[in-house]
Structure 1
Amino acid sequence: MTITFIAHSTPEPALYGAMAAILAELRALPLCHFPVSHDAKHYPNARQHVTAQGHTLTSGLVWLERLTGRGAGEESGLESLIYRALKEDIVVPLREPLSPALAARIAGHGIGVESLSVVRNQDKFQLEDCGSGKIRSNGWGRDAFGRWALGSVSQPVMRAGKTLRVAMVGDFCEQRDSYPAMLAALGDAADALAMNIDVVWVTPSLLGSQLDSTLYDVDGIILPGTTLTSGDHPVSQLASAVWALENQTPLLGINQGMHQMVTAFGQRVLGQERVVMHGPSSLNSLQTSLPLSRHQQQRLGNQTVLSRSGTLLANRMGEEFTLRYNQRRCLNPHLLAELESAGLKTSGTDESGEQAQAIELNNHPFFMGVQGQPELMSRRERPNPLLMAFLQQVRQSNRDHDVSHSALTKSVRLRHPHLSMG
């Protein structure tokens, strides 16, 4: 049996394991992986990929599940890796090329060793034999959504209609290089709907008039549930949620993004001083988010969500569905009870029916938040239905806006033509 090691000397978590996943798919082999660490200061979302079984891994290992449909499993030590390689061929990603000492140790068990490294040629990535220097693969590239093409040329999607602008509240480099799942999943949904979309990035530094001018002509907004970079605060997420409320702009909130949506609506209904994100500033304040108790523990992996009858969530997802989770906090049930009468619905709960897992708002085109991470269950040929529902409403709202704008600006013959002079 043989272990194929693929070294990729890059600091970017989103690239770790990607070429190894591609080779594992081409050769129909399992991928095993060692524990790996990244610079958490520069890449706070480096370890945010969660498997169906609840293993938290380096974010780049999302590519294995996306390309092969197989989860990456938990991290392996050297002994367990050798034990598995005695029974079957495997592929293993590395941060640095395999050392001669480690190669000799593995070969001592009668296991073959193939050592490849990832080299970059302009915007393409290739595999090079560490011994001979010979290129062993075609060039692989990433598209506008950060997704890898299985081959040198990706299959084009026949798109129709005008280009719509979707705002993503976050940093482009963080989403592409540290946590690539959200951007890739948005591309999956756009492909399935044959939509042309441009992603507008709303960085945490955008506030006030700058934020207004950025959001002025967007057709939809996404609040992703990723960790903010060091020193950033969720002010732009909250301000974007307020904008979506005031301008009837379709809004989808993921995990922490959902909590920002509830904060925005709560402050609008109950007042600024009564609703805070964490740690009440006064005795009269209500927290939006509460930490999960030690009895609840952190919710990881695939979990069941129960939809509330008559909601948009139930209409799109059915009475019961599965969502991938990386949950550390929950919504304050006391605040939700106060906001219920104002139109904010708890549209999804956990299996006990006690903990809110999704919210939506009456009298709004699309104001939906979910506690889980739908992007982790998306694949190019099987996009997540929640993201598809969001983009469908983005398209519909744009059409409705065009119709209403056309009606408002349509010229009307004046009864007294002379009144039009001057």
Structure 2
Amino acid sequence: MTITFIAHSTPEPALYGAMAAILAELRALPLCHFPVSHDARRFPNARQHVTAQGHSLTSGLVWLERLTGRGAGAESSLESLIYRALKEDIVVPLREPLSAELSAQITAHGIETESLTVVRHQDKFQLEDSTTGKVRSNGWGRDAFGRWALGSVSQPVMRAGKTLRIALVGDFAEQRDSYPAMLAALGDAADALAMNIDVVWVTPALLGSQLDSTLFDVDGIILPGTTLTQGDHQAAALATATWALENPTPLLGINQGMHQMVTALGQRVLGQECVVMQGPSTLGSLQTALPLSEHSQPRLGNHPVKTCAGSLLAHKMGEEFTLRYNQRRYLNPQILSALENAGLTVSGMDESGEQAQAVELMNHPYFIGVQGQPELMSRRERPNPLLMAFLQQVRQSNRECDVSHAALTKSVRLRHPHFSMG
């Protein structure tokens, strides 16, 4: 049997294991992987990929599931790797080229090794033999949504209609280099609906009038939970959720993004000071989110969500659907009760019926938050239905706005009011 090692000397978590996943797909081989670490300060979301079985892994291993439909499984020790390779050929990603010491340890068990290196030429990546330098693959690149494609372009999608603007809290580098799942899943949903979309990045620097200027012509907003691990991104998410309430715009909150949506509504309705910190958001003495019990583990992997009858979520997703989880906090039932009169309703529960897993707001075009991470379940040929439902609502809301009397009679607002004439 043979172990093919794919060395990719890159700091970006989103690239780790990607070319190894491509080779595993091309050769129809399993991929195994060692534990790997990244610069947590530079890439705070480096380890946010969660498999269906609940393994928490480096974010780049999302590509294996996206390309092959197979989960990456748990991290392997050298002993378990050798045991696996005694029975079948496998592919293994590495951060650095295969060392002579590691090669000797493996070949001592009668296992052959193949060592390939990922080489980048401009925007294309290819595999070369680590010993001879011979090219072993064609060039692979990434599209506008960070998804891998062979050759210069992927299969084109016939799109129709106007280009819609989707605001995403975070920045392009973080989404593309640290946690690629969200941007890729958004591209999957847009392709399936043949929609033209532009992503508008809402960074922490955009506050006050700059935030208003950025958001005033967007068609929909996503608050992705993974970018909210830092205080500055939490503040941007809270300000964006508040803006979406004041300027009714379709809004989807994911994991911590849902907590920020509830916090924004609580601040608006209850009139109490909202403190955003590295942890649960606090509304005076009333916390929006509570940590899971000290005696319970984080809720990881695939779990069912039972929708509440009559809710918009039930209309879009049916009586029950599955979400991928990376949950460490849950919504405080007290805040949900306090905001019930404001139209906030629980639209999804866990399998026990005890914890709220989704909320929505009445009298709003689309104000839905979910505790899970739908982007981790998306593939190019099988987009996540929750993200598709969001984009469908964005398109519908845009059409209704275009034909409304108010829209037809309203004066065009200048993007930069300080440049107004007169």
Alignment TM class, shorter chain as reference: over 0.9
What does residue 118 of structure 2 align with? 118
1:285 Cα shift? 2.6
Query: Who wins on radius of gyration, i.e. which is larger?
Result: 1
For residues 157 and 238 of structure 1, what CA distance do their matches in structure 2 show? 35
Task: Kindly tell me the number of residue pairs found equivalent between the two proteins.
Answer: 409
1:386 Cα shift? 0.7
| Contact kept in structure 2, 1:275 and 1:288, CA below 8 Å | no
For residues 172 and 158 of structure 1, what CA distance do their matches in structure 2 show? 25
1:34 Cα shift? 0.3
What does residue 101 of structure 1 align with? 101
1:109 Cα shift? 1.2
What does residue 393 of structure 1 align with? 393
What does residue 263 of structure 1 align with? 263
Deviations 1:202-230 (A, max 9, x none): 00121000100000111000000114465
For residues 136 and 380 of structure 1, what CA distance do their matches in structure 2 show? 25
Deviations 1:230-267 (A, max 9, x none): 56251110111011111110000000000000011111
1:272 Cα shift? 3.1
1:11 Cα shift? 0.1
| Contact kept in structure 1, 2:280 and 2:288, CA below 8 Å | no
| Contact kept in structure 2, 1:171 and 1:201, CA below 8 Å | yes
1:130 lines up with 2:130 in the alignment: yes
Deviations 1:40-90 (A, max 9, x none): 000000000000110000000000000000000000011110111111000
Quick one: structure 1 residues 91 and 360, their matched pair in 2 at CA, closer, same or farther if it must change by over 3 Å?
Answer: same
Write out aligned runs for 1:143-222 (5 A).
143-151=143-151, 153-222=153-222
Q: What amino acid maps onto 1:328 in structure 2?
A: R
Q: Which runs of 5+ in 1 are unaligned?
A: 411-422
For residues 406 and 137 of structure 1, what CA distance do their matches in structure 2 show? 53
| Contact kept in structure 2, 1:185 and 1:375, CA below 8 Å | yes
Write out aligned runs for 1:1-400 (5 A).
1-151=1-151, 153-228=153-228, 232-273=232-273, 285-400=285-400
Quick one: structure 1 residues 20 and 225, their matched pair in 2 at CA, closer, same or farther if it must change by over 3 Å?
Answer: same
Q: Look up the SS of the partner of 2:346 in the other structure.
A: strand
| Contact kept in structure 2, 1:4 and 1:90, CA below 8 Å | yes
Quick one: structure 1 residues 279 and 60, their matched pair in 2 at CA, closer, same or farther if it must change by over 3 Å?
Answer: closer
1:297 Cα shift? 2.6
1:383 Cα shift? 0.5
For residues 342 and 281 of structure 1, what CA distance do their matches in structure 2 show? 18
| Contact kept in structure 1, 2:231 and 2:276, CA below 8 Å | no
1:274 Cα shift? 6.9
1:152 Cα shift? 5.0
What does residue 416 of structure 1 align with? none
Q: What amino acid maps onto 2:311 in structure 1?
A: T
For residues 340 and 231 of structure 2, what CA distance do their matches in structure 1 show? 34
1:154 Cα shift? 1.0
Q: What amino acid maps onto 1:174 in structure 2?
A: E
What does residue 416 of structure 2 align with? none
For residues 369 and 200 of structure 1, what CA distance do their matches in structure 2 show? 20
1:358 Cα shift? 0.3
TM-score norm. by structure 2 comes to 0.94
Two-structure CA RMSD over aligned residues (Å): 1.7
For residues 171 and 199 of structure 2, what CA distance do their matches in structure 1 show? 11
1:275 Cα shift? 7.8
Q: Which runs of 5+ in 2 are unaligned?
A: 412-422
1:408 lines up with 2:409 in the alignment: yes
Deviations 1:345-392 (A, max 9, x none): 100011111111000011111100000000000000010111001101
For residues 223 and 279 of structure 1, what CA distance do their matches in structure 2 show? 16
1:407 Cα shift? 3.4
Percent of pairs identical after alignment?
82
TM-score norm. by structure 1 comes to 0.94
